[in-house]
Structure 1
Amino acid sequence: MDYKKTAKSVLDGLGGADNVDYFTHCATRLRVTIGDRTKVDKSQIEKTDGVLSVIEQAGQTQVVIGNEVSEVYTEMTRLPGMDRESGSSSSGSKNTEGSGEKKAGIITRMFDVLSDSFRPVLWALLGSSMILTLIVLLQQLGVFGHYTNFAGQNVTVDLVNGPKVGDDAANEALMNTWRSQFPFWFIILGAAMSVLNFMPVFIGATAAKRLGANMWVGAAIPAALMTDAFRGLSTMAGDAGHITLFHIGDWGIPLYLFNYTGQVFPPLFAVAVLAPLERLLKKIIPSMLHMVFVPMISILIMVPLTALIIGPIGVNLGLGISNVFQWLNDINPAIVGVVVAGSYLFMVPLGLHWPLNAVMISNLSTLGYDFIQSPMAAYNFAVFGVVTGVAIRAARDKELRQVATGAAVSGLLGGISEPSLYGVVLRYKRVFPLILVPAMIAGGLISWLGVRSYAFAFTSLLSIPAMQPIPLFAIGLAIAFFGGLGGVLVFGFRSREQREADLAKQSVATDEVPTGERVRAATDEPEAPRPTPAAVSSGPAAATKATGEGVATEPWAEGRGSEAAARGSDSPQDDDAATVGAPLEGDVVALSEVPDPIFAGGKLGQGVAITPSAHTVVAPEAGTIIAAPASGHALGLRLDSGVDLLIHVGIDTVALDGRGFTPEVAKGDRVEAGQKLLTFDPDVITEAGCPLITPVVVTNTPKFADVVGLPDGRAGLGTPIIRVTRS
């Protein structure tokens, strides 16, 4: 994928930089808040290379790309008019009050802000959580030894949660002993717990950026509640959980004290108040004093307000959601598993799974474990099983097989379900029950068996150790995966209509392949009137080329042999078979080796590819130039033999915009065998990251009975590389 080209095409489809109010990305999608939705060309975006789907959700236009989304996002930030630091266009609004978001309801906007605030932290959170998963696994294996707990049981050393041998003093003494024994692993434990513990600070910063407030002030507010100065008040509170801050008459104003480590909702609510407060202060305070007094007054107001009101509300909201699941878990753990695994298929496309992610993190911080994430893994593995089944059954559909295989691999190894969801599942809705049935069975079993997660991770084969007990968790995953896989293999994945449509795409009838359009599509050249024979023969370009200037006579004759000389330009019309010579020197390979699915799949016609050893392209036979884009990277040539030939130097080289290419002919020119058509600089192409391999294809392949490439190693100019058999 050409990330720059993809980013530009997506931005153009979104209506340009002026139409983007805010943009960010998650693990698989670009998420864009649009100013005017009427300017969005959804069909253009969906046709862009690398784009899986475009959906409208949570007040956003979401472009699903997959694992390479961060590279596309980076290129998008570098485009003219886009601001990398603010996550918006330089001319767009820096807040979220654009028209696109006003149309969304308050609940939708809340989920929108929650998800956009959470995603930037995922990269660091998942990395640190995988380190925590490693430590938990080593503990379970007994690497750090064993000790006797307060119940007299011999258990493994638990560096994460600490010892349980009696009172606090005894626990602290044993913990210090462990610190002296394993100092290195406590450093690694610090790395593992860093993001989880200081999550409020991260969320405060990302939420402030999302809502248009100063992100560092947003981080300072929750950080204040995590300082020793604030936490020291808890000592005064004792078991009461609150102190009296001050009195109004006989009424004491209470300050409820919570541990804000790992909390998500308090910083979100605090920043939601900070954003309008900051805008108000900027209107009141003279601009020359903004840098000092706006942050000072903001922090002076927001920290006490968060400590008194906003923080307790946020903490209790998270506890309330967690308590609902805990209540269901107390009734029967299997209920939680069935509900979570069964609902995720519908929650993910709507973005409703992000609040649950926040609750998972809160549980890990307060309880030391979570019981929601483990049954959620059953949904993931049921999806991965289904797309694996699709990859197996779609053996004849190369494009679908590639999509399904890539989605399955990214899921099983990375835990990313969106490529599977948007590339396969939502396209073939017949697989819904094939996902739901094994997911709900496995999810209920996982919860009933008491499997818990001890680190936040995208569930994959690599993150299995984060769930304990591992053997019981593995049994549930196997049921989910092989249930989904078996369902597809037995029942299929598409309706009869979808099967017929997919098969129709794989074979195109002769009269449905207009040659001119195929050549223009491959060379990115707009349609233009075809010149008349008189114009071709009498034009100035034709007169120039008729002199034979630029003809590589000796190498052409040596490579072509006597066959071409004896045949002449008209005789091929009468032959049952003819060959097309090489237009450039190099190693001839099969077309399937081209790193581009359109060429490799023969979508533009059959032929070969050449890895060039020289930098000159010549005409293999006499003919007429029918396509010559300004970028000079490709040529369409109609040979006198009736063959329409496309010579495409390199892959994605249209993005070079002519750099490294020197065209020698123009559209409509008459050329002779061996005449120089273009030259190119291989160094420019390779330095730009473009493959140098050059497809040479017959774009009117359906016109002939057979077109066969002859990938026969080294070729000189004119060496036969394609055999064409007439009907």
Structure 2
Amino acid sequence: MNTVTPEPLAEKILRGVGGPENIESLTHCATRLRFQLHDGAKADQAALDALDGVMGTVPQSGDRFQIVIGGAVAGVYSDIMNLPSMSAAGAPRPQSDADVKAEIRAKGRGRYAWLDNFFEYLSDSFRPLLGVLLGASLIIAIASMLDAFGVVDFRSADKSATWVFVDSMWRSVLYFLPIMVAYNAAKKLKIDPWVGASVMAAVMTPNFTGMIGSKTPGVTTHTNATLGTTESVAHVFGLPMQLNDYGGQVFVPLLMVALLALVYKGLKRIFPENVQMVFVPFFSMLIMIPLTAFLIGPMGIWAGNGLGTGLSWLNGHAPIVFAIVIPMLYPFLVPLGLHWPLNALMLVNINTLGYDFIQGPMGTWNFACFGATAGVLLLSLRHREKDMRQTATGALAAGLLGGISEPSLYGIHLRFKRIYPRMLVGCLVGGVIIGILGGVNTKAFAFTSLLTIPVFNPMIKYIIAISAAFFTSMALVYFSDYRTKDERAAVNAERDAAEAAARGEIPAQAAPAEERELVTVGAPAATATATATGTSTAAGSTAGTAPVTEAPAAAEAPVATGPAVELAAPVAGRVIGLGEVEDPVFASRALGEGVGIEPADGRIVSPVDGELITVADTGHAFGIRTANGIEVLIHVGIDTVQMKGEGFDVRVESGRKVSAGDLLAEVDLGAVRAAGHPTVTLLTVLNTAEMSSVEPHTGQDVVAGAPVVTVRR
């Protein structure tokens, strides 16, 4: 018997607002999805109101549309944004690792566009090769481990056919790397990538490389007595051509494609569009293959050798400086995508010197990075942070087993500014140890992970350095935390609420603190009134809406069992009922019973003794929990979240204990009015459903501190 999978709420909402193509932007606050639609008339309000999980809808002017979800809004928002069909929408997405990377790279842009473009060209030519380079790296690591345990002589010149074949599995990537780089570079410069690959392949064919050191007519070979190297020169069309094995070279394809792009685009301007497919690739190859063989190839070899020689000199004459500079530099190069040029030099060193001396110090940066992630993981276990535990576990596994730092960087480190300084200390410690011990080399290009440790020599020095880097970063992050005290207090409070909800003690507020307009602990108000929200709202505007039917906070109020608690007015002014408020969400009591106050001034004070669970970054909302569990929301103005804090001078921070009458904020009411927002200040009891009664006292003018709501548990 076939079962039908229920359609997710996110897809139903998406269909109800007119599909992804009707969405211009989407954000959310504490309880609502806020859509900016291309055409508000396409939203099916009745269908949306009828959905389980939707507490109400609020059409607004300017094609804006709100859907009230309640505490689970962040999860629904995330589900909507992750739908494949949302690629057709203009909505901004939650920050992914790639978004963080792009943001960091944008911040790193300097005054000179040509320099930024140059580094982007280098980075984008290598970045798509990450997977195959990692695969080859792990194959090398496995072979090196077998060599270390004496199973096979990995470096023997007379290995069996089996191990020659195993060699080909990783050498295929490194040897043909120039062709792959040429393809990516051409794609980056928006020309036919196969032309770039073909030009590079022409000087790597067996016919071409077979002339090196051969007795082919027209080829002469001589030995450089000074350098001890053998050079072959072929005379082609009467012109001397230096022969080189371009396997593993990276500077040659980068130089070649840069010139190819000029030739290719120039030819496209010359030939009519209907013959470009034939003649542009033909003439591009006819011009660029000889230029590469005669000029660009030798120049690239010289450039790569020169850079490698310079770094080798620094490593030989100031090894401690070199060993410190490399790991301290990488944490800033990787987020900007500028580390690939150094990786290219590693390949050049292996091809020219037979070994590389950069990867050893670089490994201390990687393990300092992984150590910081381990510190975050330990903290997430200690504080029972489920989401961060999952993120850190995946990032740590990718790092320790694959040598990939990006999940740690973009998923964690760049999002918490306290991590980087602590990680840099680990980099410094590891680099100093490498320098003092005399450096570490490797004869293979390998991603620095636990599996590739055997490819480094001397192995024991490398293990000491990366261990020191790892545990230094881990300890610093763990003992000083990656969150501030205020952030930790807020996150732990939310965790406690979620755990209490899971035990059935209180309903949960699902949205993460950093993603919500306001984080509160406990339940939204009783949902018996949810369907009232938006049902009496005129389409297209919240101003002048029909009155919303007021419903009791709980269908059956229990008998009063405790003493009355008086909630004071947070601001001086005229007290009105929630039914008179222009926001249907508050008017429907979806966020609890309470009052509205038309403020006489902008001094906002605490209405009760308690703890500030959350202070909105924008300063327009405050959540307070009393000692006996009453949860109070103070919300200044309607839709003032859109002001992004302008006109709000906040005087408190999350986690602080406050007494009734303490100043929370000073608000420029003139600025609020100028921005087109009502100034009415709301005071509601969020967990009204848990109370025996919540009695508002309306129709009076009050001073701040006067009782306006009576609550009994």
If the TM-score is normalised by the length of the shorter chain, which range does it land in? Answer: 0.5 to 0.7
Q: Report Cα offsets for 1:517-549 as digits up to 9, x if no partner.
A: x989xx9x999868756799xxxxxxxxxxxxx
Asked whether 1:140 is paired with 2:148, we answer yes
Contact 1:52-1:419 within 8 A present in 2 as well: no
TM-score by length of 2: 0.55
CA distance in 2, matches of 1:346, 1:50: 16
Aligned to 2:681: none
The DSSP-based 3-state class of the residue aligned with 2:362 is helix
Structure 2 residue corresponding to 1:214, chosen from 177, 187, 192: 192
Aligned to 1:315: 301
Contact 1:225-1:307 within 8 A present in 2 as well: yes
CA distance in 2, matches of 1:519, 1:469: 69
Q: Report Cα offsets for 1:187-206 as digits up to 9, x if no partner.
A: 12111110100111111111
| Equivalent residue runs for 1:81-480 within 5 Å | 105-144=113-152, 157-159=153-155, 162-163=156-157, 175=158, 178=159, 182-235=160-213, 236-239=220-223, 241=231, 243=233, 245=235, 254-394=240-380, 395-396=382-383, 398=385, 399-446=387-434, 448-480=437-469
- Structure-2 change in CA distance of 1:312 and 1:269 (3 Å): same
- Structure-2 change in CA distance of 1:271 and 1:706 (3 Å): farther
Structure 1 residue corresponding to 2:92, chosen from 38, 41, 44: 44
Q: Report Cα offsets for 1:680-722 as digits up to 9, x if no partner.
A: xxxxxxxxxxxxxxxxxxx996334499xxxxxxxxxxxxxxx
Contact 2:248-2:347 within 8 A present in 1 as well: yes
2:474 partner amino acid: L
Q: Report Cα offsets for 1:228-259 as digits up to 9, x if no partner.
A: 33324432233253537479xxxx96433322
| Equivalent residue runs for 1:495-534 within 5 Å | 495-496=484-485, 498-499=487-488, 508-509=519-520, 532=547
Q: 1:284 deviation in Å?
A: 1.8
Percent identity (aligned): 37
1:136 partner amino acid: S
2:290 partner amino acid: P
Q: 1:490 deviation in Å?
A: 3.4
Q: Report Cα offsets for 1:73-126 as digits up to 9, x if no partner.
A: xxxxxxxxxxxxxxxxxxxxxxxxxxxx99962221111111111122221221
Q: 1:131 deviation in Å?
A: 1.1
The DSSP-based 3-state class of the residue aligned with 1:275 is helix
Contact 1:117-1:210 within 8 A present in 2 as well: yes
- Structure-2 change in CA distance of 1:386 and 1:52 (3 Å): farther
CA distance in 2, matches of 1:405, 1:140: 29
CA distance in 1, matches of 2:286, 2:559: 90
Between Structure 1 and Structure 2, how many residues are aligned? 461
Contact 2:553-2:589 within 8 A present in 1 as well: no
Aligned to 1:703: 688
1:418 partner amino acid: E
TM-score by length of 1: 0.54
Q: 1:496 deviation in Å?
A: 4.5
1:114 partner amino acid: L
- Structure-2 change in CA distance of 1:110 and 1:412 (3 Å): same
CA distance in 1, matches of 2:277, 2:461: 56
Aligned to 1:147: none
- Structure-2 change in CA distance of 1:535 and 1:337 (3 Å): closer
- Structure-2 change in CA distance of 1:210 and 1:514 (3 Å): farther
- Structure-2 change in CA distance of 1:323 and 1:512 (3 Å): farther
2:411 partner amino acid: G
CA distance in 2, matches of 1:331, 1:570: 79
CA distance in 2, matches of 1:570, 1:451: 71
CA distance in 1, matches of 2:95, 2:333: 27
- Structure-2 change in CA distance of 1:287 and 1:237 (3 Å): farther
Contact 1:435-1:484 within 8 A present in 2 as well: yes
CA distance in 1, matches of 2:284, 2:414: 46
Provide structure 1 residue ranges, at least 5 long, that are not aligned to the other structure.
15-39, 63-100, 145-156, 164-174, 537-567, 578-636, 643-698, 708-724
Provide structure 2 residue ranges, at least 5 long, that are not aligned to the other structure.
1-7, 15-19, 27-88, 214-219, 225-230, 498-518, 562-587, 594-683, 693-710
Contact 1:285-1:294 within 8 A present in 2 as well: yes
2:184 partner amino acid: T
Q: Report Cα offsets for 1:437-487 as digits up to 9, x if no partner.
A: 222222343353543234333322233233234333222221111111122
2:147 partner amino acid: Q
Contact 1:438-1:479 within 8 A present in 2 as well: yes
CA distance in 2, matches of 1:569, 1:246: 92
CA distance in 2, matches of 1:300, 1:360: 32
- Structure-2 change in CA distance of 1:514 and 1:531 (3 Å): farther
Contact 1:196-1:365 within 8 A present in 2 as well: no
Aligned to 1:486: 475
CA distance in 1, matches of 2:550, 2:690: 32
The DSSP-based 3-state class of the residue aligned with 2:102 is strand
Q: Report Cα offsets for 1:34-53 as digits up to 9, x if no partner.
A: xxxxxx99x933x3578773
Q: 1:333 deviation in Å?
A: 3.1
CA distance in 2, matches of 1:329, 1:198: 29
1:204 partner amino acid: A
1:702 partner amino acid: N
The DSSP-based 3-state class of the residue aligned with 1:429 is coil
CA distance in 2, matches of 1:242, 1:286: 42
Structure 1 residue corresponding to 2:558, chosen from 542, 551, 574: 574
CA distance in 2, matches of 1:365, 1:576: 83
- Structure-2 change in CA distance of 1:243 and 1:193 (3 Å): closer
Q: Report Cα offsets for 1:312-331 as digits up to 9, x if no partner.
A: 22222222222222112211
Contact 2:323-2:439 within 8 A present in 1 as well: no
Contact 2:525-2:589 within 8 A present in 1 as well: no
CA distance in 2, matches of 1:571, 1:511: 19
Q: 1:262 deviation in Å?
A: 0.2
